[in-house]
Structure 1
Amino acid sequence: MITEEHVYGAISTVIDPEVGFDIVSLGLIYGVKVDAENNVHVTMTLSTKGCPLHELIQQWTRESVLKLEGVNSCEIELVWEPAWNISMASEEVKKELCG
């Protein structure tokens, strides 16, 4: 059985190359759902709407989830509300980025 924790662990390997932190620590993952058939739905955002790597980051996220043994499918839902801000990031990321 695939759990949300498994999915978050897989997604945490995806690094935003612009800032050098993983997208989970950055607070870009708003939710993960796994159904009974191990289909995964990830709700996420990006730091800006104009992010030049938005397609790649979504692809990397999908690929990281699909690498988990037993996952049947992975759907990425990109949302813009609530808008991302630095307060959503982990304490470690905030300390590094904000001093």
Structure 2
Amino acid sequence: MPKIHIKSVQCTVPDEIDKDEMFLKYDGKKIWPVGDWYFRIDTGDKVVVNIDLEVQDGWNELELWDFDYLTFNDHLGTFKFFVDNNKGEYSTSMELCEEGSTASYIMQWELT
């Protein structure tokens, strides 16, 4: 199985006015932040994620969620990326999941 290194996630535009409480899921499981429920992020913020993942060859998806205390968590969007034998550094823009959302995020990752 190929391995990728997720370097960082940058918020271009949050979904909420008072910052997003983001977390990442892969294959239905929360993978980041480790040890916390979420990470608060705002416009222009770039957070170092620094995690390694074993993924499948071909298309993969990493989900970005917004933590909510009183309601269900919001699946803001999905980073869809293609893994093959071309090692290198990449960036992937998030595809929105919620209709009417303004959220915009970019993930920086590396195929190792």
TM range (shorter): 0.3 to 0.5
TM-score by length of 2: 0.32
Q: Which has the higher strand share?
A: 2
Q: Which has the higher helix share?
A: 1
TM-score by length of 1: 0.34
